């Protein structure tokens, strides 16, 4: 083979080796990954929304308190049997499964009564999941002007 051709072949082979070396170097970079396995606890009331308002029952405000596990419900319930039903969403954004230890209510208005559904002591919210339940506030007495509920709710969760 002529010298010129051999020189060209040598140059080509050197180029190929150079390119492969660069590619080879990039592939041999250390592959590393880390996974955070630190357990975390984060169960909280994510949202409160109105499910329905019956017989002129009217939501005033439903507030999640600073601890994110307590709430207050204020609704205007002037007609007898008027009601407001709230949908409460509790979410577990921690890594530890949580079990409902307590659900407690404190009522400051003797003219109203309340019910809650779809939640029971012992209910489990697994990590990443949520639970929805309802709280219904009802005027149990005769028609009353400016009858406003003042109902507190407290939730307590423990490690499953």
Q: Rule CB under 8 A: choose which of 22, 40, 52, 126 binds another protein.
A: 40
Measured distance CA(158)–CA(101) in Å, rounded: 6
Work out the widest C-alpha separation in the chain, in whole angstroms. Answer: 113
Rounded least distance, CB 69 to another protein, Å: 4
Count of CB atoms within 10 A of residue 47's CB? 13
Rounded least distance, CB 121 to another protein, Å: 8
Measured distance CA(39)–CA(52) in Å, rounded: 38
Residues 56-115 that bind another protein (CB under 8 A): 65-70, 94-98, 101-102, 104-110
Measured distance CA(113)–CA(107) in Å, rounded: 8
- Residue 77 and residue 149 in contact, taking contact as beta carbons nearer than 8 Å: yes
Measured distance CA(65)–CA(136) in Å, rounded: 19
Q: Rule CB under 8 A: choose which of 9, 22, 60, 124 binds another protein.
A: 9
Site membership for another protein, residue 31 (CB under 8 A): yes
Q: Rule CB under 8 A: choose which of 22, 24, 124, 129 binds another protein.
A: 24
Rounded least distance, CB 81 to another protein, Å: 19
- For another protein (CB under 8 A), the number of binding residues is 53
Type and span of the H or E element at 8:
helix 3-27
**Residues in touch with another protein (CB under 8 A):** 1, 3, 6-7, 9-10, 13-14, 16-17, 20-21, 23-24, 27-28, 31, 35, 37, 39-42, 44, 65-70, 94-98, 101-102, 104-110, 121, 127, 152, 154-156, 158-160
């Amino acid at each position: 083979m002529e010298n010129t051709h051999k020189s060209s072949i040598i140059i080509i082979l050197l180029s190929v080796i150079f390119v492969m070396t660069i590619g080879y170097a990039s592939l041999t970079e250390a592959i590393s990954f880390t996974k955070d396995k630190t357990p975390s606890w984060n169960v909280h009331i994510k949202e409160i929304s109105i499910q329905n308002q019956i017989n002129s029952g009217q939501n005033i405000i439903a507030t999640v308190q600073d601890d994110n596990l307590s709430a207050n419900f204020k609704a205007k319930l002037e007609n007898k049997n008027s009601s407001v039903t709230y949908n409460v969403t509790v979410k577990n954004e921690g890594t530890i499964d949580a079990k409902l230890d307590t659900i407690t209510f404190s009522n400051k208005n003797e003219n109203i009564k309340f019910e809650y559904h779809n939640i029971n002591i012992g209910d489990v919210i697994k990590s990443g999941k949520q639970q929805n339940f309802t709280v219904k506030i009802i005027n149990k007495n005769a028609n009353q002007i400016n009858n406003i509920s003042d109902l507190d709710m407290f939730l307590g969760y423990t490690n499953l």
